[in-house]
């Protein structure tokens, strides 16, 4: 923390989950960094890849099971259509507070200079191809490449 | 607190934002821009005027709204004000810092 008096220069945000609330948290943090003059890069791995998968990114859901903060009995959360209902309600609330949808949010991030990286290992595992992904992705890279990107003073990493 | 900007005594908050827009003029804007190491071009002024109008109409400013302004897109906004664009541009415009997360 002695370097630069602890000033944050760059945020490296790793998104490993594909639930709506996690995707939004990661996006808001990345965008918020840029708004403060902090650089930001995102690494999408495992289920986080869904947030940049063209066919999936508009169909992300909130988790209604195993999420105590939903204040919904687990049995009820598991009923068919429950996730879709909860997700639709949440999306409606988000629109009210001027939250962009996932695709528009990705457009905002790239326009703001956030670098977006897809994890090669997870791509291979899910059999995704580069053309399956959102066009604004910078590249498909390895974890080693991502660490290389993270070099420098005042760089912080965050795992979502 | 009081701050001398362009030879005038101006009231600002602890972050350096003007608290009374009537004390703002173009020279004040230019001085605040110089402090942020920005040389204002006609394009900057268009954006500043837009921000002031939106503030006057009590519109909550956010990056998303800037992108939908029809005046400037987000990419150009970051080119005009490279470091913390919304914070910097509103400070130069003499209006409050937007309390926006997006």
d(CA A151, CA A132): 29
Q: What is the mean pLDDT of residues B24-36?
A: 95
pLDDT for position A69: 82
Of A36, A100, A113, the CB nearest to B64: A100
B63 Cβ contact list (under 8 Å, min separation 6): A31, A35, A108, A112, B74, B77, B85, B86, B100, B102
Locate the domains of chain B by residue range. Answer: 2-93
Q: What is the rounded average pLDDT of the residues A126-148?
A: 97
Query: Does residue A131 belong to the interface with chain B, where contact is any CB pair within 8 Å?
Result: no
Nearest to A35 among B67, B75, B86 (CB): B86
Q: Distance (Å) from the C-alpha of residue B43 to the closest C-alpha of chain A?
A: 18
Mean pLDDT in residue range B1-10: 89
Residue A77 banded pLDDT, cuts 50, 70, 90: confident
Residues paired with A139 in a beta bridge: A117
Q: For chain A, what percent of residues have pLDDT higher than 70?
A: 98
A-B CB pairs within 8 A amount to 42
| A103 in reach of chain B (CB within 8 A) | no
Would you say A58 and A101 are in contact if contact means Cβ atoms under 8 Å apart?
yes
Q: Does the beta carbon of A56 lie under 8 angstroms from any beta carbon of chain B?
A: no
Higher pLDDT pick, A14 / A59: A14
SS3 A44: strand
B25 pLDDT higher than 70: yes
Give the pLDDT mean for B73-77. Answer: 97
Asked whether residue A90 carries a pLDDT value surpassing 90, the answer given is no
What is the distance, to the nearest Å, from the Cα of residue B34 to the centroid of all Cα atoms in its chain?
12
Which CATH code fits A9-159? 3.40.1260.10
Other beta carbons within 10 angstroms of residue B27's beta carbon come to: 12
**Strand arrangement of the beta sheet that strand A139-141 belongs to:** A139-141, A115-119, A39-44, A10-15, A155-159
Task: Quick: pLDDT tens for A39-63.
Answer: 999 999 999 999 999 999 999 998 8
A1 pLDDT more than 80: no
A3, pLDDT greater than 70 = no
The DSSP secondary structure of A134-145, one letter per residue, reads -TT--EEE-HHH
Burial group, residue B100, by CB count within 10 angstroms (0-12, 13-18, 19+): middle
B-chain residue closest to A95, CA distance: B64
Neighbour count for residue B93 (Cβ, 10 Å):
28
Mean pLDDT, chain A, as a whole number? 92
Tell me how close the Cα of B65 comes to any Cα of chain A, in angstroms: 9
Q: Is the pLDDT of residue B12 over 80?
A: yes
Rounded to two decimals, the pTM is 0.92
Write out pLDDT tens, residues B34-59: 999 999 999 999 999 999 999 999 98
Q: What is the DSSP string of A71-92?
A: -S-HHHHTSTTHHHHHHHHHHH
Least confident of A50-59, A73-82, B13-22: A73-82
Q: Do the Cβ atoms of A98 and B87 come within 8 Å? A: no
Q: Is B101 a catalytic residue?
A: yes
């Amino acid at each position: 923390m002695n370097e630069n008096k602890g000033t944050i220069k760059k945020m490296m945000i790793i998104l490993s989950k594909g639930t709506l609330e996690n995707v939004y948290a990661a996006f808001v943090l990345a965008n918020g960094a840029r708004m403060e003059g902090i650089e930001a890069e995102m690494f999408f791995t495992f289920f986080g890849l869904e947030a940049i998968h063209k066919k999936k990114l508009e169909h992300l859901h909130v988790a209604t099971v195993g999420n105590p903060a939903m204040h919904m009995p687990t049995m009820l959360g598991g009923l068919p259509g429950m996730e879709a209902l909860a997700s639709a309600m949440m999306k409606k609330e988000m629109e009210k507070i001027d939250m962009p949808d996932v695709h528009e949010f990705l457009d905002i991030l790239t326009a703001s200079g956030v670098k977006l990286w897809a994890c090669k290992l997870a791509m291979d595992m899910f059999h995704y191809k580069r053309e399956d992904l959102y066009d604004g992705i910078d590249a498909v890279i390895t974890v080693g490449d991502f660490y290389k990107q993270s070099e420098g003073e005042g760089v912080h990493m965050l795992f979502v | 607190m009081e701050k001398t900007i362009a030879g005038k005594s101006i009231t600002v908050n602890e972050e350096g934002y003007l608290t009374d827009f009537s004390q703002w003029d173009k020279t004040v804007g230019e001085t605040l821009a110089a402090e942020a190491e920005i040389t204002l071009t006609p394009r900057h002024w268009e954006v500043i005027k837009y921000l002031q109008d939106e503030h006057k109409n009590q519109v909550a400013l956010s990056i998303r709204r800037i992108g939908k302004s029809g005046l400037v897109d987000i990419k150009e906004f970051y080119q005009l004000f490279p470091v913390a664009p919304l914070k910097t541009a509103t400070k130069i415009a003499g209006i409050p810092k937007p309390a926006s997360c997006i």
